[in-house]
Amino acid sequence: MTLKLSVIGCGYLGATHAACMSSLGFEVIGIDTDQSKVDLLSNGELPFYEPGLDTLLAAEMKTGRLSFTTDFSAVADADVHFICVGTPQSKDGLAADLTYVKSSVAAIAPFLKEGSLVVGKSTVPVGTAQLLRDQLSMTAPQADLAWNPEFLREGFAVEDTLTPNRLVVGVANDRAEEILKEVYKPIIDLGTPWIRADLPTAELVKVAANSFLATKISFINAMAEVCEAAGGDVTVLAKAIGYDPRIGSRFLQAGIGFGGGCLPKDIRAFMARAQELGADQALEFLREIDAINIRARQRVIDVVRADLSHDLTQYKIAVLGATFKPDSDDVRDSPALDIAAQLQEAGAQVVVHDPKGIEPARKRFPNLDYQEKVVDAVKGADAILHLTEWKEYRELDPSVIGQLVKSKFLIDGRNMLDRNKWRSAGWRVHALGRTD
C-alpha cells in the first residue's frame, strides 16, 4: 500500500516538498491557514518565485494526487505528516519563535491515526523534537515523531528535494526510520547518502551546516576588508585558497554578505540555544560572524559617501537588486534592500530594480522608489550599486548604461561584473576587496 502524506505549512519549504513528493507518486494533502495561499496553490500557481517549481506544481495538480486545504481534519487519512512551517526570529530576542511548529503539531494531533509518523522539517533549536515527541505521546500516543531537516537552496529547491546530496533523519526507533526509507526510496535508489541520527543530532546538523556556511562567507568578507587596507585583491586570494581541498572554493565570494530567511536567524537562534544549554562560549565566534556580515553592508555605504559626499541629499543612487540572492523573490534580511533603505534614510534618492523581487520589496519598504526596467532605474543616477548577482546585470552594456547616468560610478558589491569592460567604457568601478 502506498503511503499517503500530508504537508503542514505551504510556504516556500512546504509547497516545494508537497509538489516534489507528489511527483514521486504519493498522494499529498497540503495544509495551510492562509486561504489566499491555498487558493493560489489549488489553481497550480505559486505565491512566490522559485525556478521550475511552478511547472512542477501545475503538472502535479493535474494528476489528482496533490491537493491543498485549510482544514486540518483532512490529514486524517495520511500516514506521514511533514511539518514545514516557519521558525522566525523572536521579536524580543535572538531565539527562534516556535509558535508555528508547536501549534501545527497540536492542530493535527486529534486527527492522527494509529501508527502515523509526524516528521519535522522546520529548522528548530536542539531539544525541540524531543519536547514535541513527549507532548505527542500524551495528546496522540498512537503516533510517533521524527526529524528530517531540509537543506534547500533557494533557486534550486526542486533539485535539492529530488536529488539531495544527503538525507538526514533523526529517529527514536527503527520503525520511524523504515517509514522514512519508504517515503524516500526513489531518492535513496539514486545513491543518495542516508544518515540516521538521534533527534538532537538531526536538529544540530542543519544549524551547524548553516553556521559553517555563514562562517565561510564572513571569513572571506573579513579578508576583503584586509585586502582593501593592504592593497590586495580578495578575488585572487579566494581563488588561491579555494584550490586547497580542505577549504574549497564554494562560498568564498566576497561581497555584501549573506541574508535570507535562514542563515541570519539560524545562527542567532543557535547562539541563544547554546546559552540556554550553558554552552554559549562554544559559539561565541558566531557573534563576530554576524557582526562582520552586518559590517559588509555598512562598507558599501561608506564607499558611497567617500566618493560622493557625506551628505547624500543631492544624489540619486540606483540599486540593482533587492532580493538576498538571484533566482528568488525572497527579500527577507536582504543585504541589498537593507543598503537601499539605509541610503534613503541618509537622504539619497534611491531607485531599486530587481527582476523578481520588486513586489516583495515594496511590501517591506514601500517608501523606496522601484522601477520595472533597468534603464529607468539608472536614468540620471550619480552612482550604480550592483548588489544582487542576477544574470541580466552581468549582461548589461556599460556603454549603453553610461549614456543614461549622470555620473559613471559603479560599486560592484558582488564582485561579479567584468571590471575591464566597464572601465573601458569610462566607468569608475569600486569592487569590494579589490584595490587595483
pLDDT at residue 2 above 90?
Answer: no
- The tens digit of pLDDT for each residue in 8-34 reads 999 999 999 999 999 999 999 999 999
pLDDT of residue 307: 93
DSSP structure class, residue 280 = G
Q: Residues 117, 41: contact at Cβ < 8 Å?
A: no
pLDDT of residue 1: 64
For the segment 328-345, the average pLDDT, to the nearest whole number, is 96
Q: What is the DSSP string of 52-112?
A: THHHHHHHHHHHTSEEEES-GGGGGG-SEEEE----PBPTTSSSB--HHHHHHHHHHGGGP
pLDDT of residue 320: 98
What average pLDDT is seen over the chain? 96
Q: In sequence order, what E strands does 121-254 have?
A: 144-147, 167-170, 194-197
pLDDT of residue 435: 85
Q: What is the DSSP string of 165-176?
A: S-EEEE-SSHHH
How would residue 94 be classed by pLDDT, with cut points 50, 70 and 90?
Answer: confident
pLDDT of residue 92: 83
pLDDT at residue 436 above 80?
Answer: no
- The tens digit of pLDDT for each residue in 147-178 reads 999 999 999 999 999 999 999 999 999 999 99
- The tens digit of pLDDT for each residue in 257-280 reads 999 988 999 999 999 999 999 999
pLDDT at residue 44 above 90?
Answer: yes
pLDDT at residue 66 above 80?
Answer: yes
For the segment 205-225, the average pLDDT, to the nearest whole number, is 96
Active site members: 262
Q: The dihedral of CA 48, 51, 54, 56: what is its sign?
A: negative
pLDDT of residue 422: 97
The number of C-alpha atoms within 13 Å of 79 and in the hemisphere containing its C-beta is: 13
Q: Which three cell numbers stand for residue 334?
A: 536582504
